[in-house]
Structure 1
Amino acid sequence: MLFTGAGKLLENVYIFSWDVCLTLLNLVTPNKKVGSVIPHGSPGAGGKWPEFVPPGEGDSRSCCPALNAMANHGILPHDGRNIKFTDMNKAVRATYNFAPTFCLFVPTFMAGLLKKNYKTDMCDLAEINLHNGIEHDASLTRQDAKYDPDQDKPYLPFIHELLASATGKDKDGNPMLTAADLSRYSGKRRSEAKATNPDYSLDKFHKMFGSSNSSTLLTIFGGKLGDLESLLVEERIPQGWEPRILARKGLTFLTFNRTVLKVENAIKEESVGPVQSNDTAPLI
C-alpha cells in the first residue's frame, strides 16, 4: 500500500473516517475488563509476558522504546530484522490496544518513508531511525542524531530527568507523569537541543510527532512511573502489565489527539544561551 497524490488522499480519508466510526463505537460499547485487555492467546494475555532478553550484538533496534520492548520479549523477531509491516500492525494492536486505524496508518506511513510497500515488504527496526522521518531531534529518550546516529539505545540522563519531573499522584499516592509534566520537559529538551546542537531541526510536523510519542506514556501506560521506568530504561514490559486503554476498539486517533494537543499546545521553549558548535554530546 504505497499511494501518492489522489490515492494517498483517498487512503487517508478512508482511515480517518473509519477512525471516527471506531471512536463512536467505543462510546456505546462496554470497555474491556481489567485483566483481559490483551486478546486471549496473544503474548501478554493475563499479564504473562514472554521472557525478556536484552538485545545482543547484531540485533537491530530503533528509536522507539515500545517497538524495542516487543522485540526484547520476542513479540517481534528478537533480532529486530525482516519484520513485515503487516505483522507489525497486528502485533502492536494486540500488545498496546491501539485502534486498528492507528496500527494501519503508522506502519503504512513508515513504509512510505522508507520507499517500501506496506503489504509486501519488510524492514529492520534500525531503518526506522531515518533522521527526520519518524526519528527527530529533541527526543525525550534519545540524544539528537548528531550525537548518536544509531538511535538504538536509550539515553538514561534524559529518561531519569523526565521521570524525576513527575508531579502527579495516582489514587494510592504513587507518582505519575501528567500532561503538564510532559509539556514542561518537552519544552526544556527543545530549548536545550536548539541551543547545543548546531544541526538542530524540528519542524511543526515533527513537533506534533514528538508530542504524539510522549503522549503514549500517558494513554497506553497511564503515566505510571514504575511501568515507565521498565519501558524507557530497560525497554522491558513488566510482568502483570496491560494497556491502560480499556476501550473495546482500542485507542483511536480522535481520542488520542486530545492528549497530544494538550501536551503540544502547552509547550514553551525558553532561550538557554548561544549555540555551542562541537561534535560531542552536550552535558545537560
Structure 2
Amino acid sequence: MHILLIAADTLLGVTLQSTLARWGRHRVTTVSQAVSRWKSERHAKKAVRRVDADIIVDLRTPQLMAAGDWVQPIDVQRTHWLAKICSRAGIPYLYLSDPRVFSGLLSHLYREQEAPDADDAPGLGLIAAEDHVRATCENHMVLRLGPLFASFDNNLLTQVLASLSSQAPLAVDDLDQLCPVEASDAARVISGVLDQLDAGAAVTGTFHYNSPDRTTAYGFAEAVLAAASQFIKVADDAIVRLEHDPDRVARNWSLDCREIRDTFAIKQVAWRGFISSTVKLYLAP
C-alpha cells in the first residue's frame, strides 16, 4: 500500500516512519508539517495528486495538541480539503484526533458512540475537524489518541526533563485525568490498522486508543523524575502542583478502547513500561 503521510516530520510522524520502515510492508511518501500549511484547496490537491497514494494518514492534530496548541479554523479547513480529495479519489482518509472532543466532565471512560460535548476552543476545533471528515469522506477513520510523549520534540516528558536545568520548579497539573501514549506504541497501533486495511478490511468509523492506566500530568511527571533520578541528580522540588481555582472541577479525558480491540485485535499497553527507556534516551549524551 502506498501511504501519504501528512506532517511526517512531527513526533508521531518520525516514529511511525521508523515503524513502517522496520516492517517494510508499505511504500511511504511524506509531506512535512510546514508544507501541509496549504493556503488553498488547489495547493492541497496539487500536493496530493502528484503522489497517487492509496491512503492518506493525517498526523497534524496530535502535534498541535502535544505542543499545547489547538486546531484553528484554517486547520479545520485543511482537514476538509483532504477529506474532499480522498472522497473524489476513492481512497481512505485516516485522521488522527484527540480525547478533548469531550468536555471531560464525566468520570467514566469515554466510548466512541458518545457525542462530543466540549465547549472550549480546543474541543470545538477538534469537533469541527472530525465533523468534516465524517460528512465529506465516506471511507474514513477517525482515531483519537491519548496525549503523546517521546524522548524528543515538545511534549510533557521533554518539558519535565528540560525543566531540571532551570532554577525554578515546574508547576504541573494534578487535577485532570489522562492516559498518556508513548509515540512508538501509537505507531504500533497505526501500523496495525494500516496492515489490516491493506489486507482488505473494509472498516470506517471512529476509534479510540490510549494506555489503560489513568494518571494526572503531575503523576506522570513524578514517574519521569523517578526514572531520571537513576541517571542524574533530581531536586526534591523539581516539580510542584499547579495551583487551581478551588471551584474548578476535575476533568477526565480517558478513553474506552474496546472498539479498536474488537475490530483490529489491538490491545492497550501501559505507559509506565516506556518511561525508563524513554528518559534514558533523552539523557543519553
Relative to the length of structure 1, the TM-score reads 0.28
Bigger proportion of residues as strand: 2
Higher relative contact order (CA 8 A, sep 6+): 1
Relative to the length of structure 2, the TM-score reads 0.28
